[in-house]
Amino acid sequence: MEEAQRIQSLPPYLFARVDEKIANAKAKGVDVISLGIGDPDLPTPDHIIDELVKAVRNPENHRYPSYVGMLEFRQAVAEWYKRRSNIVLDPKKEVMTLIGSKEGIAHIALCYLNQGDIALVPDPGYPVYGIGTLLAGGVPYTMPLRAENGFLPDLEAIPEEIAQKAKLMFLNYPNNPTGAVADKTFYLKAIAFAKKYDIIICHDGPYSEIAFKGFKPLSFLEIPGAMEVGIEFHSMSKTYNMTGWRIGWAAGNARVIEALGRIKSNIDSGVFQAIQEAAIVGLLGNQEIIAELCKIYQERQDIVIEGLTALGWSVERPKATIYVWAKVPKGYTSTSFCELVLEKTGVVVTPGNGYGEYGEGYFRISLTISTERLREALARIKDSLGNFEF
Ligand code: MLT
């Protein structure tokens, strides 16, 4: 049963490893508070659930769904973009349903990378950009995201021969794990770079709706030229508290969408139609729930920022996302600090190096836990760990 080389050095997914640590601690009787994975604790809104319950009773929905997704779902996505950012999309050619955006992100590499081709991958970054590249036989080239550059990649630092060989560039704003956001100037530069070197930009935007104090993140697709060079991955997961439902989409350049569809139709059989029908109601129905959600995350962000600041941390306040990205204290690595926190307090935070080598020296807190438990987590850190040096 010798495994293929492509998976021999493949580690279990970052959060599968974190889950194992949580299970071990729980087995020892620890009351674990997980600020690890970004998995909304609040329920999916009722009107979406009600629609699912209705749709699940329709036998038409029990059959294979369409490979590219129900046209009605793709139309709802197009309407969502029109309403949000005045972007006009052809739902038939420029939108595709995904089984959560993670799936599309992993599959896009199979569409464009030949053996040895390069994908430009942000670091720290969502692990699937690099892993999808490796599984396709490609080579991830790291674009460091540094605090001094606002956690934006420095495109001018990419060597000419690398740019020439690159086929894909992954970008993700609002950013996981750093919480950084990108402005139009940056996106315009990235689009010009992509045009110059014939690179496809895969922008991952699942956190675009979770923003604070009136800030409205840009969609990549609203930037002039974006539709010529790339696509945006998006998802119902974070906006509508639907991580478990597995539904997302890719939207943008029609040729890229078609290529992704060709791979996918040979590998999967689409998203259960009842879920797509419920998601349509989510996209087209009451959006006030998102403002309420952001209010809750804002309160939680305040608790974390104020709590850490009182202990001596200097932490950036993210304009968007469900994360806080903070430096580990002096004398610790990402791993040793997260281990200390778990051991002494039962609180799980994610080590920054799980998102790549440039995440070393940081840890990430996810705000997806009840406000009460979040307060408790901060109190435990204060009581059991006290002050640190930075
Ligand atoms: C995260 O916590 O980084 C994401 O929620 C993980 C994921 O989407 O798989």
For atom 1 of ligand 1, which residue has the closest CA?
38
Ligand 1 closest atom vs CA 13: 9
Q: Work out the angle between the directed axes of helices 288-310 and 371-385 (0-180°, nearest 10).
A: 10
- For residue 193, being part of any structural domain is answered with yes
Same domain, 85 and 226: yes
In angstroms, rounded to a whole number, what is the distance separating the alpha carbons of residues 140 and 152? 17
For atom 4 of ligand 1, which residue has the closest CA?
38
Give the three-class secondary structure for 171.
strand
Q: For a substitution probing ligand 1, which of 15, 41, 178, 236 has the most ligand atoms within 8 Å of its CB?
A: 15
The amino acid occupying position 350 is: T
Q: Using an 8 Å Cβ cutoff, are 275 and 76 in contact? A: no
Please tell me the predicted confidence (pLDDT) of residue 387: 77
Same domain, 250 and 275: yes
Range of the domain at 68: 46-284
Cα 181 to ligand 1 centroid, rounded to whole Å: 17
Q: Using an 8 Å Cβ cutoff, are 290 and 239 in contact? A: yes
Q: What is the pLDDT of residues 247-284, one digit of tens each?
A: 999 999 999 999 999 999 999 999 999 999 999 999 99
Which CATH number fits the domain that encloses residue 68?
A: 3.40.640.10
**Contact residues of ligand 1, CB 6 A cut-off:** 15, 37-39, 102, 176, 366
Please tell me the predicted confidence (pLDDT) of residue 162: 98
Q: Using an 8 Å Cβ cutoff, are 349 and 364 in contact? A: yes
Q: For a substitution probing ligand 1, which of 99, 105, 126, 131 has the most ligand atoms within 8 Å of its CB?
A: 126
- Is pTM beyond 0.85? Reply is yes
Q: What is the pLDDT of residues 177-210, one digit of tens each?
A: 999 999 999 999 999 999 999 999 999 999 999 9
Q: What is the pLDDT of residues 207-247, one digit of tens each?
A: 999 999 999 999 999 999 999 999 999 999 999 999 999 99
Please tell me the predicted confidence (pLDDT) of residue 389: 87
Same domain, 202 and 82: yes
Please tell me the predicted confidence (pLDDT) of residue 8: 87
Same domain, 56 and 198: yes
Q: Structural domain tally of the chain?
A: 2
Which CATH number fits the domain that encloses residue 315?
A: 3.90.1150.10
Same domain, 231 and 319: no
Low-confidence ranges of the chain (pLDDT < 50): none
Cα 59 to ligand 1 centroid, rounded to whole Å: 33
Q: Is the peptide bond before 124 cis (omega within 30 degrees of 0)?
A: yes
Same domain, 228 and 351: no
In angstroms, rounded to a whole number, what is the distance separating the alpha carbons of residues 336 and 353? 11
Domain termination residue (choose one: 284, 308, 338): 284
